[in-house]
Structure 1
Amino acid sequence: MYNLDGPSPVVSQRERGKERRRALIRSAARELLRKTGPDGFSMRELADRANVSPATPYNLFGTKAGVLIAVFDADLQEFRQAFERIPSADPVAHLFDFVDTAFAFFQREPEFYRNMLAPIAASSSGELRRGIIDPRATVYADLIKGLVDGDVLRPGISGEALLRTITNLMTIGVLNWINEDSALTQSRADVQTGFAFVLLAACRETFAPFLRGKLIPPAE
């Protein structure tokens, strides 16, 4: 029966049960991803690990890609919360805080990120790429918007071109680590150096001393 005062207790209890099962499935999927990658487990195996019926992952997420997107959505939310807690001095410093935060997450769970990101980068699934890559693109867009709104860029510098450049730099650095062409610490240093070179050309002279400092390798 419809309740004019709000959702009925039965509906609320049902929704709580669904969210509990969603959380169990996301947690199980993350553990399987850490061990095998997205292609290394089946929906039935996921259901077994989450202790739910074989139909439940399909009912709640639709497809395996839907499960993976849900896992990465939760991860992105955690990343955003961690990143937003950092008190950056200005929009330029904020870009380097972003690099530090991202690589700290990779360091925390290297198997999960490597197993997840490697197949995504090569995936032909439009659903998967749009669901996982596109939301992260908004993080880069927000960073560049901060530079534009803060009047940080030199006259004539295109925010769109700068966005593409830093996105490519980050992607290359992460892929070098995923493909084991460089260690995680080296990839982080490469991204930081690339950002510094690009921003030296793009930002007003006021920020040059800070950016030149980012070109100096950290002491061992």
Structure 2
Amino acid sequence: MSLREKQMIERRHRILDAAERLIRKTGGTDFSVRTLASVAEVAPATPFNLFSSKEALLYALLSRSLDTIISEGLKFKSPNRLFHIVEAATNAVDMFARDPEFMRPLYRVLLGVSDDVHRPRFMERSIGYWKTAVATIPDQKLLSTERQRNFLTAAIQAQFLGLLEFWVHQEFDDDTFRQHSVYGVLSNIMGLLDSENKEQMLPLFQKVIEGLQHFEW
């Protein structure tokens, strides 16, 4: 890698770090690019030169947060693969809940800004998270084809994004977000499991219905 390329990467990181600090400080993403450049200590034109637009910059920040969710959210504790899909949901919720001052305003961008270029790319990576989680489900007759697994993946992602919107707008607290996420995953998969695996899932499903607060794997 050339010195110029290293410097460009360093400036990108510096700008993204500055944007994160501004989001935490202001509680939103309405800051100007000129303000961002000042906080990042770069020339006013540098953010545009490196990211092309403010929307692209914010989606780069979203992508960076997704990197963490993907790398950490797919680390499973349960020795039983059957529960990994549920862990994927609770791990994701926990990462949002640990940093609401940053994650709430940042993800309002995803939920509120129409972008024909950057949003599809982000959503493709996001559905990859759930596709990996769905792939951990032990072989089931009703999940034996790629088409069936893709339908399940899309259903779980859509359900999670809907719950995320409630949380982002503070209509759900952390516990409610977590409980509904687990309930949503279980509701999507229970009817697809064979009798033996369904029997294993029933205690957790009952716990969710009764009011899940926390679940140790």
Report the TM-score when normalising by structure 1: 0.83
The one of 40, 50, 59 aligned to 2:40: 50
* Distance in 1 of aligned mates of 2:97 and 2:41: 29
Q: Paired residue for 1:135?
A: 125
Note closer, same or farther for the CA distance 1:109–1:182 as it changes in structure 2 (3 Å cut).
Answer: same
Residue type at the aligned position of 1:152? Q
Residue type at the aligned position of 2:142? R
CA contact (8 A) 1:192 1:214 kept: no
Structure 2's unaligned 5+ residue stretches are none
Deviation for aligned residue 1:188: 0.9
Q: Paired residue for 2:140?
A: 152
Q: Name the count of aligned residue pairs.
A: 207
The answer to whether 1:28 aligns with 2:18 is: yes
Residue type at the aligned position of 1:151? D
Residue type at the aligned position of 1:65? E
Q: Paired residue for 1:117?
A: 107
Q: Deviations over 1:129-159 (max 9, x none)?
A: 2243332111112222343xx4135368822
* Distance in 1 of aligned mates of 2:189 and 2:20: 36
Note closer, same or farther for the CA distance 1:210–1:37 as it changes in structure 2 (3 Å cut).
Answer: farther
The answer to whether 1:167 aligns with 2:161 is: no
Deviation for aligned residue 1:185: 1.0
Q: Deviations over 1:15-62 (max 9, x none)?
A: 221111111101011122233323x11111110111111111111111
Q: In terms of Rg, which structure is larger? A: 1
CA contact (8 A) 1:196 1:212 kept: no
The answer to whether 1:62 aligns with 2:52 is: yes
Deviation for aligned residue 1:193: 1.2
* Larger RCO of the pair (alpha carbons < 8 Å, separation 6+): 2
CA contact (8 A) 2:167 2:174 kept: yes
* Distance in 2 of aligned mates of 1:164 and 1:47: 38
Note closer, same or farther for the CA distance 1:85–1:146 as it changes in structure 2 (3 Å cut).
Answer: closer
* Distance in 1 of aligned mates of 2:92 and 2:201: 19
Across the aligned residues of Structure 1 and Structure 2, the Cα RMSD in angstroms comes to: 2.2
Deviation for aligned residue 1:172: 1.9
Q: Deviations over 1:162-190 (max 9, x none)?
A: 22221122122211212222212111101
Larger displacement relative to structure 2 (51-60 or 89-98) = 89-98
Structure 1's unaligned 5+ residue stretches are 1-6
Report the TM-score when normalising by structure 2: 0.84
Note closer, same or farther for the CA distance 1:130–1:193 as it changes in structure 2 (3 Å cut).
Answer: same
